[in-house]
């Protein structure tokens, strides 16, 4: 590796999962349900024929269900999607920061 190369961690590393699942501490039933759902999505990506569209639709439903638990519920679902997809413009970012929305 040259001196100019930067190390980029893969998405969804162990620390990302620990942070994401911290709210499940003390709620083993919900954690188990999420485990089932993740395994269903995994199976859609591992079976022949692939069920990629079904996996995408399941993830989309999960994102929709997550939205009401964010600060964006008071702002905009479209802006929520832009943030989580990494498509937020600089102007939109400034507006959200001025509104006190953390992301």
pLDDT, tens only, 37-77: 999 999 998 988 889 999 999 999 999 999 999 999 999 99
The pTM for the full model equals 0.71
Which carries the bigger pLDDT value, residue 3 or residue 14?
Answer: 14
Judge if 78 and 55 occupy the same domain: no
**Closest to 76 (Cα-Cα) out of 88, 58, 60:** 88
Question: Rounded to whole angstroms, how far apart are CA atoms 10 and 68?
Answer: 28
By residue range, what is the domain housing residue 60?
A: 10-69
Q: Looking at the predicted structure, is the pLDDT value of residue 90 above 70?
A: yes
Using only C-alpha atoms, the chain has a radius of gyration, in whole angstroms, of 17
| pLDDT band with cut points at 50, 70 and 90 for residue 6 | low
Instruction: Give the pLDDT confidence score for residue 102 in this predicted structure.
Output: 85
| pLDDT band with cut points at 50, 70 and 90 for residue 26 | very high
Judge if 23 and 51 occupy the same domain: yes
Q: How many domains does the chain have?
A: 2
């Amino acid at each position: 590796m040259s001196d100019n190369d930067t190390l980029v961690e893969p998405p969804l590393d162990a620390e990302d999962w620990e942070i994401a699942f911290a709210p499940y501490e003390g709620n083993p039933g919900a954690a188990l349900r999420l485990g089932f759902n993740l395994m269903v999505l995994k199976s859609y990506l591992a079976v022949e024929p692939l069920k990629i569209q079904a996996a995408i639709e399941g993830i989309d439903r999960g994102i929709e269900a997550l939205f009401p638990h964010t600060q964006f519920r008071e702002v905009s679902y479209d802006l929520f999607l832009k943030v989580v997809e990494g498509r937020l413009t600089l102007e939109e970012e400034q507006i959200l920061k001025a509104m006190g929305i953390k992301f």
